[in-house]
Amino acid sequence: MVLSPFFFNFAQMKIIVSPNTFKGSLSAVVATDVIASELREMLNNSEIVTLPIADGGDGTAEILAQILHATEHRCCVHNPLMRPIDASYYVLPDGSTAIIGISSASGIALLQPSELNAMKTTTFGTGELMRCAVESGCRHLIVALGGSATCDGGTGLAQALGVRFYDRQNEEITTPLCGRKLTEIARYEKPKTLDSLKITVLCDAEATMYGPQGAAYVYAPQKGATPAQVKLLDDALRNYAAVLNRSLSDTIEKQRYTGAAGAAAAGLKALFEAELVSGAEWVLSHVGFEQQLIDADLVITGEGCVDSQSIAGKSLGTMLRYTSKYNVPMIVFCGKNELKEPIDGLNVLEITPKEMSLAQAMQCDVATDNLRRAVVECFR
C-alpha cells in the first residue's frame, strides 16, 4: 500500500474511526472495534474516537439502537414471502420513539438467492413490526429503508398498519400486496387513528419512484427481477403513483428519495406524510460526526465495496463532503475498489488479497483478518 504525503506523523493525532457495514461480512461495530484496537496498540499517544455509522442501509437500526441507548423488542412477523419469523425493533428511552429497519422483516438477506423475486415479495412484515411498536405506545417511528427484497411501493406495510386498498371492482384487496399486484390498485382508505403517527424515513438511495433511474430499473434486478419483470414493475409503480397523486398536492414521483426500498419511501410519504431524509446525513448528525471533525487529524472509514454509488448520497460521499470542508484527510478500507478515478482527499485501500475469491473474502473471520492486516500495513 502506498500512502499519500500527509501520513508523516502519527504521534498525538486525533483519529476518527467511523466505518460502515462491510455488507455480508462485518458489521460497522465489529469493523470499528478491529480498526480501533489495532490503532491503539500501534499509536498509543493518539486519541482514537470511535463512531460506527450507517446510511439507512443494512445495520442502521442496530447502530442507532446502540448510539441512542434503545431497548430491543422482538415480535413474530412475516418475511418477504410471508413465512413467520421473529424480528426486532428498538425503543428509545423516551418510550415513545421506535427504530425499525426494513431489512429486519423484509430484507434481502432473509431469502435464499433462488427465492429472490421482486414480483412476489412484500413489506407486510415491516408493517407488522411498525404496528407492534405503535401498540407498545410509540408515536414516532424512525424507519431505515436499506436492504429490502421488495418492490411493492410500501403497500404491504401499509396494509399491516390498517390501510385498505381496493381494486377497480371496488373489492378490497385482502392478500398482502406485492410488486406484481400494484396494477390492481384503484383507490385506498387510511384509518384516522394513524393521523397522529410521526414517521421519519432514513433513505440510502436517491432513486425516483419510477422511470430509468427509478426503483424498478435501478434496484429490482438485484432482487431477482428479469428485464421483462423490471418493465412490469415500473409500470405497476406508475399505476400506484397515479392512485396516490389523486390526494396529493405535489406529485409523489418527483420527490427526492421516493424510490428507496422498492419505492416503500413513496408509500410512506404519500400515505403517512412521512419525512424522507438522507440516512447518512441523519446518522452522522446524531453521532456528532461534524463536531468531532473540527479538531481531527484523520478520518478512517470502511465498507465492503467502494463505487460511484458510495459517493452519491451514501455515507462515504456525505463524510467526504464534511472532511473536505474541514480539510481532514480520509482513508477508506474496502473489500473492493470500483472507483474509476481517484478522488481528492480520499485514500482508498483494498483489504482483500488479489488471489482471494469473493466467497472466501466475505467470510467473517477472513474479513476480520484482512482488515486487521490492512490497518497494520497502513500504519506500521
pLDDT in tens, 248-260: 988 998 889 999 9
Please return the burial class of 335, using the count of CB atoms within 10 Å of its CB with bins 0-12, 13-18 and 19+. Answer: buried
Q: Given this model, what pLDDT does residue 10 score?
A: 58
- Check whether 3 has a pLDDT greater than 50: no
Q: Given this model, what pLDDT does residue 2 score?
A: 40
Nearest to 177 by CA among 149, 204, 158, 198: 158
Range scoring the smallest mean pLDDT among 94-108, 181-195, 307-321:
307-321
pTM of full prediction above 0.75: yes
- Please name the helix (run of DSSP H) or strand (run of DSSP E) that holds residue 164, with its range, or none: strand 164-166
**Radius of gyration of the chain, Cα coordinates, nearest whole angstrom:** 21
Band (pLDDT 50/70/90 cuts) for residue 313 is low
Asked if residues 116 and 80 have their Cβ atoms less than 8 Å apart, the reply is: no
- Check whether 6 has a pLDDT greater than 50: no
289-316 mean pLDDT:
89
Q: For the chain, give the mean pLDDT.
A: 92
Asked if residues 85 and 125 have their Cβ atoms less than 8 Å apart, the reply is: yes
- Check whether 134 has a pLDDT greater than 50: yes
Q: Given this model, what pLDDT does residue 5 score?
A: 40
44-53 mean pLDDT:
93
Cell numbers at 74, concatenated: 422482538
84-102 mean pLDDT:
97
